[in-house]
């Protein structure tokens, strides 16, 4: 791919930071109803440092959904 540098769609800024959204109510859980053991994972957010727009969300531990 060409240019992988992020640019904020809301304000045009190109400076970002990452934060983690977690805790018992904020973690992502599988939708499967037959799971006896519920595993979950926090989300990693990429946030524009100028306006706060969330540019991306990524599950921290995707292996828990296999």
Query: What pTM was estimated for this model as a whole?
Result: 0.76
Q: Are 53 and 46 in contact (CB under 8 A)?
A: no
pLDDT per position as a tens digit, 25-41: 788 887 765 555 667 88
Give the pLDDT band of residue 1 (cuts 50, 70, 90). Answer: very low
Q: Is the dihedral of CA 43, 61, 64, 22 positive or negative?
A: negative
Beta partners for residue 43, in sequence order: 21, 59
Task: Return the pLDDT at 57.
Answer: 94
């Amino acid at each position: 791919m060409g240019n992988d540098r992020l640019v904020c769609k809301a304000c045009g800024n190109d400076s970002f930071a990452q934060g983690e959204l977690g805790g018992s109510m904020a973690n992502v859980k599988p939708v499967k109803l037959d799971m006896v053991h519920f595993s979950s994972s926090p989300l990693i957010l990429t946030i524009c440092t100028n306006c706060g727009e969330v540019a991306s969300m990524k599950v921290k531990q995707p292996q828990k959904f296999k």
